[in-house]
Amino acid sequence: MMTGPGGSSPVSTFWSERQGEGPLVAVAVHAGSAVRPSLHDHLALDAAGRLREEDPFTDRWAHLAPTWLVGERSRFEVDLNRPPERAVYRSPDDAWGLEVWNKAIPEGEVDLSLALHADFYRRLGEILDEKVERHGGFVLLDLHSYNHRRESPEGPAADPAANPEVNLGTGTLDRGRWGELIDRFIADLADSGAIPGGDVRENVKFRGGQVPLWTHTRYPERGVALAVEFKKTFMDEWSGAPDEGRIAALSGALRSTFPGLLASLRRVIGDRGGDA
């Protein structure tokens, strides 16, 4: 069982969580790197190769929110940000051309992975249902990171024109309803002083995955999920070494957006269901 900081409850070896006050929730579903022992003999991709496509250190940003869930296992065991039919990588086409498995994984192992996927969304639903009941709605920050030096450690960085410092994925939400909240978040993050050039852009690199899609389908008028993708300028994406100063600066930048998010949420949902 896992127990996170701040008095979080033991829940599962698959994720850790903390339940706090207020309608702000964060998830970091790709923060983990562990793979269950029964899959080890089937893996062709080593830990370093897996780490490059995982989102290390995003758990630190999730922990800034009063309520959070953090994935403790690797996306190569099961990807919580994909729908069930795509959540287990079967071929290189599912995994950026990487050979994940040295032999086909048994269907029983696939079923176990999909059961973990379903259990995570069941638990997320319980938490968000409670936020709607108590506060009338919620903001969910879906925290990720992405690579920008794919050729080699010393190779050129990806073109910044198509690779923003922060990509905000809003592809599955109703911008007519949530546009003010989105614009306030982008402005506050860009003005924080921690984002080079204030480079926060919407739907340039990613539009969001299963977490926001599921959220907006289940809570179309009460919940908004923002898929926040930080370019991996806060770490060496090849070695996994963190830049602690950058991580701390981005933590402060993200935290600075919380008052605006909550104020915008109140204006959208009003006073129904409790005090946001």
Q: What is the pLDDT of residue 272?
A: 47
Q: What is the pLDDT of residue 95?
A: 96
Flag whether 4 is in a domain.
no
Residue range 7-26: average pLDDT?
Answer: 79
- AA identity, residue 131: K
Tokens at residue 116, please?
């973990």
Flag whether 5 is in a domain.
no
Helix (H, G, I), strand (E, B) or coil at 52: helix
Higher-pLDDT residue of 250 and 4 is 250
The confidence band for 12, taking pLDDT boundaries of 50, 70 and 90, is: low
Q: What is the pLDDT of residue 221?
A: 96
Rounded Cα–Cα distance for residues 141 and 136 (Å): 17
Least confident of 3-7, 36-40, 163-167, 239-243: 3-7
- Summary mean pLDDT of the chain: 93
Cα–Cα–Cα angle for 265, 268, 274, nearest 5°? Answer: 65
Residue range 172-180: average pLDDT?
Answer: 97
Q: What is the pLDDT of residue 270?
A: 86
Residue range 246-258: average pLDDT?
Answer: 98
CATH code, domain with 265: 3.40.630.40
Flag whether 246 is in a domain.
yes
pLDDT for 25 beyond 80 = yes
Rounded Cα–Cα distance for residues 18 and 29 (Å): 14
Residues forming a β-bridge with 34: 73
Flag whether 193 is in a domain.
yes
Q: What is the pLDDT of residue 153?
A: 82
Long-range pairs, 83-89, Cβ under 8 A, ≥24: 83/210, 83/213, 84/114, 84/117, 84/118, 87/113, 87/114, 87/117, 87/210, 88/113, 88/114
Domain count, the chain: 1
Flag whether 274 is in a domain.
no
Residues forming a β-bridge with 141: 26, 226
Q: What is the pLDDT of residue 87?
A: 98
Domain around 251: 15-269
What digits encode the pLDDT tens for the residues 27-47? 999 999 999 999 999 999 999
- Contact between 100 and 42 under an 8 Å Cβ cutoff? The reply is no
Q: Of 213, 245, 214, 250, which Cα lies nearest the Cα of 229?
A: 250
What digits encode the pLDDT tens for the residues 60-117? 999 999 999 999 999 999 999 999 999 999 999 999 999 999 988 999 999 999 999 9
What digits encode the pLDDT tens for the residues 124-143? 999 999 999 999 999 999 99
Flag whether 253 is in a domain.
yes
What digits encode the pLDDT tens for the residues 209-239? 999 999 999 999 999 999 999 999 999 999 9
Flag whether 49 is in a domain.
yes
Q: What is the pLDDT of residue 165?
A: 98
Q: What is the pLDDT of residue 163?
A: 97
Q: What is the pLDDT of residue 11?
A: 39
- Contact between 29 and 81 under an 8 Å Cβ cutoff? The reply is yes
Residues forming a β-bridge with 226: 141
Flag whether 214 is in a domain.
yes
The confidence band for 151, taking pLDDT boundaries of 50, 70 and 90, is: confident
Rounded Cα–Cα distance for residues 30 and 55 (Å): 5
The DSSP string of 149-210 is --S-TTSPPPPTTSS-SEEEE-TTS-HHHHHHHHHHHHHHHHTTS-SGGG-EEESSS----H
Please tell me what DSSP assigns to residue 242: B
